[in-house]
Structure 1
Amino acid sequence: MCIFGDMELNYKKLGEGKPLIILHGLFGTLDNWMTLGKSLAEHYQVYLVDQRNHGLSPHSDRFNYDVMADDLAEFIEMHRIERPSIIGHSMGGKTAMTFALRHPDMWDHLVVVDIAPKVYPVHHQQIIDALKSLPVESITSRNEADEMLSRDITDFGQRQFLLKNLQRKKEGGFEWKMNLEVIEKNIEDIGRGMEDRLTTEKKVMFVRGAKSHYVKDEDYILINQLFPTARIETIAGAGHWVHAEKPEELLDLLMDFLRS
């Protein structure tokens, strides 16, 4: 644990070498990147971070990219990390972009995984409604939770991803690690586009999944406005969860880029 101002963010540190910080996406935790993080830790000192209102980090009523970018800046200063490279997936990618544009001297390489700096209409309400419908305090097992959740979310992999947010309470039953109420309240902020009109010509790579709809060809215009030297890569056969679906292909791209 580490104190970031008034925010004690949860993190795990792996390996030795040049520093590398990884930020997960919405409804995620640092554990989503543990497998790839271990591979990267063979060459880098990897910091896997739970963003506020997620994982084992504290809950807060403030939840937007401004405060999450501030969290990242404070994290780097608190740990005295010298010019880390940053990898951010989805929501974590927008946090990383916001931070990178505001603090161009605090980082080395930036990798944004399957998200563009554009506005995304709210499209998570079905997930939120399904999670809220679960009687987490009275369920007795994860299998029971999975069975109930399957009525609204048919994809098994997506359910397993979401159910990683369940934790058992000492007194019985379960509770959500994430702050579902605040996430729902601020979901439009999470979909907002990049409002900074800053740009950077530092080393930036965008990676998208070929089967994902998050980054389209027409988004390249906006990407290049903010990040004129950006390298844009597409991984065949991958959807939005590139790191889970095509970890080896993503690792090869990351190693090639981070060594450049």
Structure 2
Amino acid sequence: MTISYQVLGQGKPLIIIHGLFGTSDNLKQIAKALSDQCKVYLIDAPAHGDSTTPSPLTLTTMAQAVLQFADEQGLNQFSLLGHSLGGKIAMEIALLDNSRVDRLIVADIAPVQYTRRHDNIIQGLNEINLVTLENRQQANETLTQYIDDAGVRGFLLKSLTRAEKPATGWRWRFDLQVLQQNYDNLIKGNSELSFPGPTLFIVGGNSNYVLPEHKPQIVSRFANVNVKVIQNAGHWLHAEKATAFVKICRDFLA
């Protein structure tokens, strides 16, 4: 496994993990804001960006890939911040190897089994012919048939880039085929282990990803847990309310 990453700042190590279909750049604004407090390792999650894909692709193998990355960086102990699927991976890391994780921040996701929420996105991505595609606008027009939210389309199109081989055409900066084939593994509940360290869930007040009925599954795994709700924010809370998100993280990491 190879994990692609950027390093910002100095201080105690913090690994930041983005969500499904993203790259490390999605949380770069947050990483920069925390870089005067932490040495931030901003990674491309396994099967995303320039990181390689473990086989099989599961929460456990993705967590193990990040732990291997931490070994390679000489990080005996570190904190974690993960959003959405990145939060699932971060939780799995803390549950699998809790002695190495100092503090855990989970942004708008719970350790529960989710229903399939991304089928329309996957269908739209598959409808784009990367060989004959002329430009991003054409890709956006195709995605519009499947995804109403312009923000979500814009987020996905950030990962559309010119193919290096062959010289013509385009490619996604995530492993679409493997993510599609293993999607059910990514929405499973996290391991039923426990992490005793300080844990913070940051939840979007307008989001439906973390619900009151998820509380038993959260506290059974994370006994030392606090929850902060950012009002008037949805699932993309780190982008919608960046100032509030950063302040909450800074206070917790301090």
* TM-score band, normalised by shorter chain: over 0.9
Query: Could you tell me which residue of structure 2 aligns to residue 249 of structure 1?
Result: 244
1:180 pairs, out of 176, 179, 183, with 176
**Which AA in structure 2 matches 1:188?**
D
Cα deviation, 1:182-225, whole Å, max 9, x if unaligned, reads 111111111101233x2222100011101110000121121111
Displacement of 1:60 in angstroms is: 4.3
2:103 pairs, out of 98, 109, 118, with 109
Query: Could you tell me which residue of structure 2 aligns to residue 3 of structure 1?
Result: none
Query: Could you tell me which residue of structure 1 aligns to residue 214 of structure 2?
Result: 219
**Structure 1 segment 1-260 matched on structure 2, within 5 A:** 7-170=1-164, 171-196=167-192, 198-259=193-254
Runs of 4+ displaced beyond 4 Å:
none
Q: Given the two structures, how large is their TM-score scaled by the length of structure 1?
A: 0.94
Q: Distance in 2 between matches of 1:151 and 1:185?
A: 22
Ranges in structure 1 where 5+ consecutive residues have no aligned partner: 1-6
Displacement of 1:129 in angstroms is: 0.3
Q: Given the two structures, how large is their TM-score scaled by the length of structure 2?
A: 0.96
Q: Percent same amino acid among aligned pairs?
A: 37
**Which AA in structure 2 matches 1:141?**
N
Does the aligned pair in 2 maintain the 1:61–1:182 contact within 8 Å?
A: no
Ranges in structure 2 where 5+ consecutive residues have no aligned partner: none
Cα deviation, 1:70-109, whole Å, max 9, x if unaligned, reads 1111111110024111001111111111110121111110
Displacement of 1:145 in angstroms is: 1.3
Q: Distance in 2 between matches of 1:82 and 1:66?
A: 19
Q: How many residues align?
A: 252
**Which shows bigger deviation, 109-118 or 133-142?**
133-142
**Which shows bigger deviation, 58-67 or 215-224?**
58-67
Q: What root-mean-square deviation, in Å, do the aligned CA atoms of Structure 1 and Structure 2 show?
A: 1.2
